Structure 1
Amino acid sequence: MSVIETNTLETVSAAAGPESGSPADDWRRTAVVYQIYPRSFADGDGDGIGDLPGIIGRLGALAELGVDAVWLSPFYKSPQADAGYDVADYRDIDPLFGTLDDFDALVAKAHDLGLKVIIDLVPNHSSDEHVWFQQALAAGPGSPERERYIFRDGLGERGELPPNNWVSCFRGPAWTRTTNADGTPGQWYLHLFDTKQPDWNWEHPEVREEFLSVLRFWLDRGADGFRVDVAHALIKAPGLPDLVHPIQDPEADPEGFFMNGPMWDQDRVHEVYQSWRALLDEYSPDRILCAEAWVQPLSRLANYVRPDEMHQAFNFEYLDTPWNAAALRTSITASVASNESVGAPTTWVLSNHDVVRHASRLGLPGNGPRPNGIRAGDVQPDAELGLRRARAATLLMLALPGSAYLYQGEELGLPDHTDLDDDLRQDPTWWRSEYTEAGRDGCRVPLPWQADAPGLGFGPTGLTWLPQPEAYTELARDRQLGVAGSTLEMYRTALRLRREYGLGPGSLEWADDLGSGDVLSFVNGQVRVAANIGTTPVALLAGATVVHSSVELPGDGTLPPDTTVWLV
């Protein structure tokens, strides 16, 4: 994949499509992956919470959409303190979601449909109900059991202060004090997230061996690979040094805390992934590792996708880039060049279960920082503008070479639930921020499948663990399927054309001949892509044929604002 600066369409060499032996032969470099958030995708048993049988019943819709793989957020046995990212047993399915037999059936059905299955792995922390953590609490200070986690004595005269000034990503301190068997205050344990999510000690060989065993367990059951949660956090800086600039709220200093703190992106974390890659390379057909790593600069992120480590790493810098032509061009160029330096593709993403959906995010005024959820009393997105921009952004993303991830429901144009009753919120960020940050519930609302069914067809009883906003009725899948111009049909067409024109394994050549700094224009093989990110229409190239557009074009030869087209 390469980025070439050019000024005219005529100077660009058209790619004829993927050839044998090209990157197109490796699905890990080009796949479009659909994220399933199990509790909100489809409910099979009617309890209002999505589950594996519900997913099985709807996999055909994803094959029909045209994706290559699915990624399942955690379904492991868990007390659900953080929606399953607090794992009590890495080798079992929580009864909330089904059984191991259900998982086996899901993999078999997906493979029959030509879909790969990627599962979430949560290696930075476990649940406090994990048997090893319970053993650590019972064994006491200095025991081998405690060495599997990060326990420390407190500071102060009586150990009453935390061991350092680190804060939790869910707000508040990153340390919780234990109670000894005799009722006296004990040591502290580290949790970069919720108090019920103690961090593993990845310096301990037993922890490393345990996770290699977990990987093998799921690979042997047919999983095609893993999305690795908080992949940049496993190794902490020696001595657990204080933050140089103490903060109470990570959002007040996101770059300093999330990117550069002593708990993130330590060089020795790559030892872990080299050992994992060696394990995956033993399996056939090819298996995948994808990093969730909020790392800057891009050169540091590229370290995770070196030839002997992971195959993909989410491009969160791109996700956070404002709707601005110059900013997007800079981000795309830097991303491709950085990954190309290590021979890796770029992995594009616009939405997931942790961020405000891009159909809402792009409808907010200005280009301020991305909010952590939107409440009823906050500034509300412009729904029409947000959806128009989201469609344009998606068509732009799907034309880029590399791999792309879609978040469930974005193919329907779903917005966040921005007026959710605060009393119904379940994200731990909500209460750990002392009820000031909405958190992630708004993007996790159950999907609408059928407009006229109870619960919009989410399950057989009409129950939904979070209420669906009114806007979801008209956006239900059955209202869009086969309807020209619908967001669903825009996605289906884009995914079909992406495959037909070989855009995933293609190349990127910038072009500047539409005469506007507000237009992002490039060539990938036979396809010319133009996105008008400005406020006024621009003239399209004469003689070019439009093969796809994010909205219906006016017919006067112009490209309207907030619109993307594919031309040949």
Structure 2
Amino acid sequence: MSTADGSPWWRGAVIYQVYPRSFADGDGDGIGDIAGIRSRLNYLSTLGVDAIWFSPWYPSPMADAGYDVADYRDIDPVFGTLAEAEALIAEAHALGLKIIVDVVPNHCSDAHPWFQAALNGGPDAPERELFWFRPGRGPDGDQRPTDWVGEFGGETWTRTTNPDGTPGDWYLHLFTAEQPDFNWDHPKVRAEFEDILRFWFDRGVDGIRIDSAGLLVKDGSLPETLPGRPHPFRDLDGVHEIYRAWRRVADEYPDRALIGEVWMPDRQRFANYLRPDELHAAFNFDFLGCAWDAAALRESIDGTLSAHAPVGAPATWVLSNHDVTRHVTRYGRADTTFSFAAKREGTPTDLELGTRRARAAALLSLSLPGAAYVYQGEELGLWEVEDIPRELRQDPMHFRSGGVDPGRDGCRVPLPWSGETPPFGFSPDETTGAPWLPQPTDWKDRTAQAQAGDERSMLELYRAALAIRRAEPALGDGEMTWLPAPDGVLAYRRSAGFTCLVNLSGAAVPLPPHTERLLASGPLDDDLLPPDTAVWLRTAEPVSAGSDPA
């Protein structure tokens, strides 16, 4: 189904990310599941989103929270069954919600049947050609084939043991040792994933989110990573042939979308993934990591739109996801940017300030041209949980960094739905286990139940914003025009007389002439827009922000 103006749904959709382990627990074991998700579909429908993206729910040993996939065509028993997933897709469609599933093509689990056959069959096993098995360096082969550093930090090669007990070849894993990388030079790997796409499209899935989309192709000569030389495994040109083939598969089905996770600092290289015969959309990490600063945000917005324009792709706007520090916390710090390299615990945070800025950021991101993503819990104003006991942490990023990086568990804590104490309705009353990560007791004021009906709450702000976005022809995909504004203020106009102002300065600024105040992220001071506040206005003619009313 396309939108009212006939454009594809994904060009202007609001897509809600569900992290299945942490969304809702239907069977009381403390882990979220499909039964829990199905019980909360009406919540998502009334929130006003257009689509749901599910992080991996496949059978997995869970070495990396399900991104180590053992079977791409089934559901892990902790989440439910394939039949339940099919019922979920049908129920979501009945509510007008699209479904996006996560596919992980760079690597699989070491429990995957192909990799087990590669290990058990010894050095001559044909399945070894499907991965990156290589002899070690040195006279005894006891040195790693390369000194590449992994995406989680640390080493990228693990040595095998031959069936006779002697030391064997090494295999490549850009992530954990439990996640061996596929060899995408092999036609069997390519055919397998094209079949996996068809498997899920045949079950009614509307889109595929592609994990680590830029890493699939490696330089087979295994050069070291050196300054000034092409990277041996990031963004090699050969990856585009893969996505052109995937696009041909998607085009066999009506109105399906391919959405890439593309971490790419070079905007032109990023745009290459969005050429008309490749992916339909990709995540905008430039915007996600941007500082809460008007000049920086404007540069990010302009750069994003200019990179997308030549390839005709829609921009996407993302504030948080399952891999990054929640933006209520980020925006409450002296350094409001995000990068994995700078991620540390114990950073002073003003959550009141962070919440005020997060409210303004919601109106900013939801009124820019293109599609927007909402990570579960951001509509509740949840903050990063930074005091999880070490013995309860699960993210390999934490352990592979020697405990320096706090990891990603803090943004994955189960959602609070109702009640005054944990598990806050995440699990049913007859629960048999505590939530898999502990919830802060302070979240009692952040439950969906506590916020429902409270006009001042983050939940009602999101509901109001999404209702306006759905009703406003100007919002979603389309054009925008910057308006003159004081330093520290972003002001832009969408068509049909819609104007957004975001005040990132330290002083209140006058509102421009307008006929209606549609929505504000916080209280206004008569005709002044306070700092760290955003407003949506109905305007009759092009205006200048900060000008005196006519």
> TM-score, normalized by length of structure 1?
0.91
Aligned pairs for 1:121-270 (under 5 A) are 121-244=103-226, 261-270=231-240
Give yes or no for the alignment of 1:353 onto 2:306.
Answer: no
Deviations 1:333-365 (A, max 9, x none): 111111011011101111000000111111111
Pairwise CA distance, 1:452:
3.0
Pairwise CA distance, 1:543:
4.0
Alignment partner, residue 370 of structure 1: 339
2: CA distance between counterparts of 1:112 and 1:318? 33
Aligned pairs for 1:434-453 (under 5 A) are 434-452=402-420
Pairwise CA distance, 1:380:
3.0
Alignment partner, residue 12 of structure 1: none
Pairwise CA distance, 1:507:
1.1
Alignment partner, residue 77 of structure 2: 95
Aligned structure 1 segments of 4 or more residues deviating by more than 4 angstroms = 371-375
Pairwise CA distance, 1:171:
1.8
Pairwise CA distance, 1:414:
0.4
2: CA distance between counterparts of 1:357 and 1:453? 22
Alignment partner, residue 290 of structure 1: 259
2: CA distance between counterparts of 1:373 and 1:383? 19
2: CA distance between counterparts of 1:31 and 1:82? 29
* Residue from 395, 419, 423 that aligns with 1:427: 395
In structure 2, give the amino acid aligned to 1:345. P
Aligned pairs for 1:404-423 (under 5 A) are 404-423=372-391
Give yes or no for the alignment of 1:273 onto 2:243.
Answer: yes
Deviations 1:302-353 (A, max 9, x none): 1111111111100101111111111111110111111011011101111000
Structure 1 residues 278 and 19: CA distance shift in structure 2, 3 A: closer
Pairwise CA distance, 1:522:
0.4
In structure 2, give the amino acid aligned to 1:332. I
Pairwise CA distance, 1:454:
4.6
Structure 1 residues 479 and 161: CA distance shift in structure 2, 3 A: same
2: CA distance between counterparts of 1:371 and 1:135? 35
2: CA distance between counterparts of 1:27 and 1:351? 22
In structure 2, give the amino acid aligned to 1:421. P
2: CA distance between counterparts of 1:220 and 1:419? 43
Check the 8 A contact 2:508/2:529 in 1, yes or no.
yes
1: CA distance between counterparts of 2:340 and 2:270? 23
* Residue from 464, 471, 477 that aligns with 2:442: 471
2: CA distance between counterparts of 1:528 and 1:142? 65
Deviations 1:61-93 (A, max 9, x none): 000000000000000000011010000011111
In angstroms, what is the RMSD of aligned CA positions? Answer: 1.7
In structure 2, give the amino acid aligned to 1:567. L
Check the 8 A contact 1:372/1:440 in 2, yes or no.
no
2: CA distance between counterparts of 1:82 and 1:485? 37
Pairwise CA distance, 1:394:
1.2
2: CA distance between counterparts of 1:403 and 1:70? 13
In structure 1, give the amino acid aligned to 2:236. Q
Check the 8 A contact 1:124/1:234 in 2, yes or no.
yes
Check the 8 A contact 2:331/2:357 in 1, yes or no.
yes
* Residue from 462, 472, 490 that aligns with 2:461: 490
Check the 8 A contact 1:356/1:371 in 2, yes or no.
no
What SS does structure 1 have at the residue aligned with 2:441?
Answer: coil
* Residue from 23, 26, 31 that aligns with 1:49: 31
Pairwise CA distance, 1:142:
4.3
In structure 2, give the amino acid aligned to 1:360. T
Alignment partner, residue 249 of structure 1: none
| Count of residues paired in the alignment | 532
Higher relative contact order (CA 8 A, sep 6+): 1
Give yes or no for the alignment of 1:331 onto 2:300.
Answer: yes
* Residue from 30, 41, 59 that aligns with 2:12: 30
In structure 1, give the amino acid aligned to 2:389. D
> TM-score, normalized by length of structure 2?
0.94
Give yes or no for the alignment of 1:318 onto 2:300.
Answer: no
Pairwise CA distance, 1:369:
5.0
2: CA distance between counterparts of 1:548 and 1:221? 39
Deviations 1:201-243 (A, max 9, x none): 0000000001111111111111112100000000112412101
* Residue from 496, 499, 513 that aligns with 1:542: 513
Pairwise CA distance, 1:471:
2.6
Alignment partner, residue 304 of structure 1: 273
2: CA distance between counterparts of 1:174 and 1:78? 20
Pairwise CA distance, 1:470:
2.3
Deviates more, 1:435-444 or 1:176-185: 176-185
In structure 2, give the amino acid aligned to 1:241. P
Alignment partner, residue 504 of structure 1: 476
2: CA distance between counterparts of 1:86 and 1:477? 32
Check the 8 A contact 2:287/2:297 in 1, yes or no.
yes
Check the 8 A contact 2:421/2:444 in 1, yes or no.
no
Alignment partner, residue 546 of structure 2: none
Structure 1 residues 430 and 214: CA distance shift in structure 2, 3 A: same
Alignment partner, residue 500 of structure 2: 529
In structure 2, give the amino acid aligned to 1:322. A
In structure 2, give the amino acid aligned to 1:27. W
In structure 1, give the amino acid aligned to 2:166. T
Pairwise CA distance, 1:54:
0.5
Check the 8 A contact 1:380/1:418 in 2, yes or no.
no
Pairwise CA distance, 1:196:
0.1
